[in-house]
Amino acid sequence: MEKNPGALLSVYYLYTVQALMKTEELKARFEKLDNTHKKSFYGQVIANRLAGLEATAIGKSAVALRKKDMNGNDVSLETLKGKYVILDFWGSWCHPCRLSHPHLKELYAKYKADGFEIVGIAEEPGQSLEKGRKAWLNAVKEDGIDWIQVLNNEGIEHFDAVKAYGISAFPTKILLDREGKIIGRYIGNNKDIDAKLTEVFGK
């Protein structure tokens, strides 16, 4: 990438490793690439992710969530203000995501009464909406999770939560404070979120 910023392969390589990079590094490397390739499919994916990451950086207000839950009810982060909220980006196909659910259930049981909520945002790529919805609902049932759940595939043409939040790795968990501001972003089964919750709840 350093020696061949004008090569399409450089854009492709950056696309393949973007999830491993911090926002500042990704932005710096992307800006050095050839402008023509920035407009390619891979370049646009990176550009969209950077836009999402910058819009949802630590300290920023969370992007409004315009989705419906499993029962067709509107889900709004505005109604959750006053609580600490985890946005859990996951999918039925994602083994690490599913493995994280028991731990999330422990956190939910520990902090729910103190003003804590989880919003699961599932992404079911590569299949029809009907099959994606079925896989999602089956996973929710199998894993025994009872917090708020939405399917990103539904209404994605109007609002894509995965794109809006710059998600490129699953699971990703984003922590919001009581005012709806982003105070943490955790990729994979990162237990740093435990320390943050202990800090904010004092237990």
Mean pLDDT of 104-110: 96
pLDDT tens-digit readout, 142-191 = 999 999 999 999 999 999 999 999 898 899 999 999 999 999 999 888 78
Confidence grade of residue 37 (pLDDT, cut at 50, 70, 90): confident
Q: Where are the domains of the chain?
A: 8-55, 67-201
Q: Give the bridge partners for 88, in sequence order.
A: 120, 173
Confidence at residue 111, expressed as pLDDT on a 0 to 100 scale: 97
- Enter the pTM of the model: 0.83
Share of the chain above pLDDT 90, in %: 67
Confidence grade of residue 60 (pLDDT, cut at 50, 70, 90): very high
Looking at the chain, the number of H-run helices and the number of E-run strands are 8, 7
- Separation between Cα atoms, residue 128 and residue 18, nearest integer Å: 27
Fold exhibited by the domain 67-201? Glutaredoxin (3.40.30)
Query: Which has more confidence, 188 or 119?
Result: 119
Confidence at residue 168, expressed as pLDDT on a 0 to 100 scale: 84
Q: Is the pLDDT of residue 3 over 90?
A: no
3-state SS of 12-55 is: HHHHHHHHHCCHHHHHHHHHCCCHHHHCCHHHHHHHHHHHHHHH
Beta strands in 84-197, from DSSP E residues, in sequence order: 84-90, 116-122, 148-151, 172-176, 182-187
